[in-house]
Amino acid sequence: KLCEQRKMSAQSAAAETTSEVLDFTQKEQGWYVPARIKDLVLYKDPVFSGVAFGVFNLYFYLVAFGGYTFISLSLFLATVHLVVSVLFVTITGFIKQFQHGPQPPPTPNPVHLNPETVKKVSDNIVSHINCGLKTYSKVQSCQHAPASLLAILVLYLTAKFFSVFSGLTLLYIAGLVAFTVPMAYSKNTAVADKHLATAKAKLKEVTDQVMAKIPKSVMDKMKKTE
């Protein structure tokens, strides 16, 4: 009975495709993105999104070439924002008092994080991390040889890529992608999906060609699980 269970497990693992094994995301759940972030990257308000993109580029330029750090620049920006806010409230209050007499001070509108949104984002991130760890366990146990070899190749190429660029450059590239790719994809969904399908088919073809060159004895040894 134990042998039959192992045989069924091996057949089940062999039936899985490389893309199914190398699934580091929760497809049924998807990535949770707050509505404000979606509106920002999809330019629902072009003026606000444009200003945010400009501030992002200015921030990067000042940190990369202006001699600032993230912390010092953030504190300077907070100082400027506070000074402008105080001056604005003082001047508008003086004008209202001059026109209509004494007025009560304005009630501040506190900025806060929505606990429900924070919980959804954190739960979503944790679920995807767990899914990625589960996938890594499959790859590590070599239940699917093509997926294991492909994962090794991808990890090596990713390590080489990250060794070329600094953390600040990668952060800027991530922000640039966030402000450009979603908008471009939303306007060219059909064309993008077509090219993605072609790339996926080409990747599968290359993977099959590589696996065909590996001796059968090596493949049988890799597929053997204890």
- The DSSP call for residue 43 is T
207 contact partners, CB below 8 Å, separation of at least 6:
18, 146, 150
Between CA 197 and CA 181 the distance in angstroms is 17
Q: Which of 16-30, 33-47, 158-172 has the lowest mean pLDDT?
A: 16-30
Three-state secondary structure call for residue 215: coil
Between CA 165 and CA 188 the distance in angstroms is 29
pLDDT tens digits, one per residue of 73-125: 889 888 998 999 888 888 887 787 777 766 666 666 777 778 888 888 888 88
Instruction: Tell me the average pLDDT of the chain.
Output: 76
pLDDT the model gives residue 29: 55
Contact indicator for 23, 137 with CB cutoff of 8 Å = no
pLDDT the model gives residue 226: 42
Between CA 196 and CA 181 the distance in angstroms is 14
Between CA 97 and CA 106 the distance in angstroms is 12
217 contact partners, CB below 8 Å, separation of at least 6:
none
Q: How far apart are the first and last CA of the chain?
A: 16
Between CA 17 and CA 154 the distance in angstroms is 17
- Rg of the chain on CA atoms, in Å: 26
Q: Rounded to the nearest 5 degrees, what angle is found at the Cα of 142, between the Cα atoms of 140 and 203?
A: 100
pLDDT the model gives residue 129: 85
pLDDT tens digits, one per residue of 36-64: 888 888 888 889 888 899 988 988 888 88
Between CA 35 and CA 29 the distance in angstroms is 16
131 contact partners, CB below 8 Å, separation of at least 6:
23, 24, 25, 26
pTM of the shown model: 0.57
Half-sphere exposure of 204 (CA within 13 A, CB side): 10
Q: In this structure, what token pair is assigned to residue 154? A: 């991808």
Contact indicator for 161, 174 with CB cutoff of 8 Å = no
**Percentage of the chain exceeding pLDDT 70:** 74
161 contact partners, CB below 8 Å, separation of at least 6:
none
